[in-house]
């Protein structure tokens, strides 16, 4: 029997038999006993290496119900109490007054999948009753010992709660899922933040010795709150080279020995609305994987490596959009996120490094490094986040209002973007389609390219990088492979760089439907100035499941490991994972699978 929710209470009966089978070849003990299953009846319960299964003692059929051990997150011995029996033999019905009996009980806590949303996990409890306390205790001990062998499951977590995230439900969200952690015997140190930047300060100042005592960090909040924690973790611990830049960008970026330097002979291809001319390129980069160095900074404990396979991050959604959670778990549900954390799920996530060189056109060069896990956006995206700050009292609805106001203004910005072109059939197809496809053909999209969506056990994300061309651990893919810089210049309504698909409730397929969690590529989306109606059509396609928001003549979509940006105006505001980021000139690159998340990816 499968129960939704956590209100199941189980009964018990003393007339039971216990059978201990021989030890299997895999050294896992098989147990078989007769129990009373709450709200079901008398069942034969069997336990083996795969999990639990049970079937009614007296049944017309031979139908068994089971729960896999991997779907069980806790087991506990409960107090002696009543077990409700809903299906018992007629001959014994008079023996159980009101179909209830007082028994010793133990409860198995697990989950089932939602029928309408496969990615959503629903709490399930199964309470078994028996007349003998030692029998219940033996089953609890055996199940607990088996669960303890699940080494991926965390034992100690640091939890940050944002009390004002989203609709201000951060504390209530944590209170709702906290029992899951306590039942699973996961120790949690909970910090409820009192001001902006507090989580960053704690993560950046915590000693590595203490950080090593945790199996991971959990953020109860939105994408912006997770970004704060992520930056607090990476900023003092990750020593990474500066992003690569085209030759004419280097007069601002002085090589400090870590940055990746291009061959001065390399030329740059320019593209614009007015010209499709291409200049010859020399794909000869003075970049070697041996020059890439990842280590802890000198003033930190060197025993905490980055990347770190053991240490994982979790997010329990309580924000306004929660795009990272939707992309990594498949659903915006605190229960599902909590279960994936306590079950020790694991998926790698790309992280973008964004280096701001100048804040304004007249400012001094002062490099400032930030990291993003989902999206960096300029123009429309920067204007929306700036406008929304005026209406924080509205809660999440402020983004709808701000988006409408910014759309009506229809402002475009002069800028120049250069990106590393990755030589692949898919990228070439996308570039040609964006340059030469007609608006009518794009809107009708009669021959859409096949999209490989990122799912559980994704082949793209699990593909091992070629270490002969990607350097250390494959964190910087394509940087040493054959490529060229391409320049795009003109007036843009928006410039966006998506690390993941960025699916959310308003964009069910995300900004880029076939973006992956860990393929080492950014999706650079350039929206050139266009008529108001055309831009509205593009936004409408974003809001539709199965839409084609990228199939417009004024939209450029490029997969790239790195890009640079320079604004031609005086204003330059970026949206970095939901946070305001002032940057007149910046460079960015992506690190493949830099961090691990407590998640498994969306279900099919």
Q: pLDDT tens across 429-446, in order? A: 444 444 444 444 444 344
Residue 470 has pLDDT above 50, yes or no: no
Let me know: does 477 contact 591? Beta carbons within 8 Å. Answer: no
pLDDT-derived band at 82 (thresholds 50, 70, 90) equals confident
Higher-confidence residue: 442 or 600?
Answer: 600
* pLDDT (0 to 100) of residue 566: 95
Instruction: Give the tens place of pLDDT for each residue, 528-563.
Output: 999 999 999 999 999 999 999 999 999 999 999 999
* pLDDT (0 to 100) of residue 250: 60
Residue 311 has pLDDT above 70, yes or no: yes
Task: Please state whether beta strands 312-317 and 585-597 pair in parallel, antiparallel, or not at all (unpaired).
Answer: parallel
Q: Any idea which of 67-81, 396-410, 463-477, 504-518 has the lowest mean pLDDT?
A: 463-477
Q: Any idea which of 130-139, 260-269, 587-596 has the lowest mean pLDDT?
A: 260-269
Catalytic residue status for 223: yes
SS3 category, 53 = strand
Q: What is the mean pLDDT of residues 82-109?
A: 69
Q: Which of 36-40, 145-149, 441-445 has the highest mean pLDDT?
A: 145-149
Which DSSP string do the residues of 385-410 spell out, in sequence order? HHHHGGGGGGTTHHHHHHHHHHHHH-
Could you tell me the residue ranges of all domains in the chain?
18-148, 346-592
pLDDT-derived band at 332 (thresholds 50, 70, 90) equals very high
Residue 224 has pLDDT above 60, yes or no: yes
Residue 474 makes CB contacts below 8 A (sequence gap 6+) with 464, 465, 466, 467, 520, 592, 593
* pLDDT (0 to 100) of residue 252: 52
pLDDT-derived band at 404 (thresholds 50, 70, 90) equals confident
Instruction: Give the tens place of pLDDT for each residue, 504-515.
Output: 888 999 999 999
Higher-confidence residue: 313 or 79?
Answer: 313
Q: What is the mean pLDDT of residues 82-86?
A: 78
* pLDDT (0 to 100) of residue 26: 43
What are residue 18's phi and psi, to 5 degrees? -120, 125
Residue 282 has pLDDT above 60, yes or no: no
Q: Thinking of the domain 346-592, which architecture would CATH place it in?
A: Sandwich (2.60)
Distance CA 499, CA 583 (A): 19
Residue 19 has pLDDT above 90, yes or no: no
* pLDDT (0 to 100) of residue 542: 93
pLDDT-derived band at 387 (thresholds 50, 70, 90) equals confident
Q: Any idea which of 73-77, 177-181, 221-225, 362-366 has the lowest mean pLDDT?
A: 362-366
* pLDDT (0 to 100) of residue 434: 47
Q: What is the mean pLDDT of residues 585-592?
A: 96
Q: What is the mean pLDDT of residues 290-297?
A: 38
pLDDT-derived band at 395 (thresholds 50, 70, 90) equals confident
The continuous run of DSSP H or E covering 283 comes out as none
- The one catalytic residue in 38, 71, 215, 223 is 223
Q: Any idea which of 155-159, 165-169, 527-531 has the lowest mean pLDDT?
A: 165-169
Distance CA 38, CA 298 (A): 59
**pTM of the shown model:** 0.82
Which residues of 25-135 form beta strands (DSSP E)? 29-37, 41-48, 51-56, 64-68, 72-84, 100-113, 121-130
CATH number of 18-148: 2.30.29.30
Distance CA 108, CA 187 (A): 20
pLDDT-derived band at 61 (thresholds 50, 70, 90) equals low
């Amino acid at each position: 029997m499968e129960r939704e929710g956590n209100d199941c209470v189980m009964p018990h009966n003393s007339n039971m038999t216990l059978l201990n089978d021989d030890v299997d070849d895999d050294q896992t003990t098989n147990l078989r006993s007769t129990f009373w299953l709450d709200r079901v009846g008398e069942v034969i319960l069997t336990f083996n290496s795969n999990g639990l299964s049970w079937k009614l003692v007296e049944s017309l059929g031979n139908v068994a119900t089971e729960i896999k051990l991997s779907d069980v997150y806790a087991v506990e011995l409960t107090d002696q109490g009543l077990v409700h029996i809903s299906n018992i033999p007629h001959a014994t019905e008079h023996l159980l007054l009101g179909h209830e009996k007082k028994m010793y009980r133990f409860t198995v806590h697990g989950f089932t999948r939602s029928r309408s949303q496969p990615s959503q996990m629903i709490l399930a409890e199964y309470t078994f009753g028996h007349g003998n306390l030692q029998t219940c205790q033996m089953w609890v001990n055996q199940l607990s010992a088996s669960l303890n062998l699940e080494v991926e499951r965390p034992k100690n977590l640091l939890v940050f709660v944002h009390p004002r995230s989203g609709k201000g439900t951060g504390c209530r969200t944590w209170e709702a899922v906290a029992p899951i952690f306590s039942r699973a015997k996961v120790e949690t140190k909970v910090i409820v933040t009192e001001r902006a930047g507090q989580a960053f300060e704690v993560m950046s100042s915590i000693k590595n010795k203490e950080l090593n005592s945790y199996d991971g960090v959990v953020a109860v909040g939105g994408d912006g709150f997770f970004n704060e924690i992520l930056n607090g973790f990476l900023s003092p611990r990750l020593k990474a080279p500066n992003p690569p830049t085209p030759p004419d960008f280097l007069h601002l970026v002085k090589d400090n020995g870590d940055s990746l330097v291009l061959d001065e002979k390399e030329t740059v291809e320019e593209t614009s609305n007015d010209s499709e001319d291409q200049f010859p390129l020399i794909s000869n980069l003075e970049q070697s994987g041996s020059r890439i160095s990842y280590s802890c900074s000198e003033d930190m404990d060197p025993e905490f490596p980055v990347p770190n396979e053991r240490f994982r991050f979790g997010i329990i959604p309580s924000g306004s959009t929660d795009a990272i959670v939707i992309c990594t778990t498949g659903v915006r549900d605190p229960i599902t996120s909590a279960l994936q954390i306590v079950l020790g799920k694991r998926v790698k996530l790309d992280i973008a490094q964004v280096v701001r060189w100048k804040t304004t056109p007249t400012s001094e060069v002062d490099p400032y490094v930030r990291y993003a896990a989902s999206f960096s956006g300029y123009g429309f995206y920067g204007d929306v986040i700036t406008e929304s700050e005026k209406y924080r009292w509205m809660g999440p609805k402020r983004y709808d209002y701000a988006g409408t106001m910014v759309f009506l203004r229809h402002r475009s910005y002069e800028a120049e973007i250069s990106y590393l072109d990755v030589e692949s059939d898919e990228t070439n197809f996308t570039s040609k389609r964006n340059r030469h496809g007609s608006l009518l053909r794009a809107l009708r999209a009669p021959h859409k390219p096949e999209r490989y969506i990122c799912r559980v056990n994704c082949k793209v994300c699990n593909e091992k990088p070629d270490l002969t061309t990607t350097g250390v651990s494959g964190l910087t893919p394509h940087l040493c492979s054959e490529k060229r810089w391409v320049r795009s210049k003109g007036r843009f309504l928006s410039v966006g760089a998506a690390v993941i698909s960025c699916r959310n409730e308003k964009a069910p397929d995300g900004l880029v439907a076939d973006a992956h969690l860990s393929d080492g590529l950014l999706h650079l989306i350039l929206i050139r100035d266009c008529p108001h109606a055309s831009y509205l059509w593009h936004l409408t396609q974003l809001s539709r499941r199965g839409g084609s928001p990228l199939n417009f003549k004024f939209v450029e979509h490029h997969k790239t490991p790195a890009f640079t940006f320079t604004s031609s105006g005086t204003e330059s505001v970026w949206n970095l994972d939901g946070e305001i980021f002032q940057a007149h000139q910046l460079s960015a690159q992506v690190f493949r699978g830099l961090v691990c998340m407590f998640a498994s990816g969306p279900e099919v």
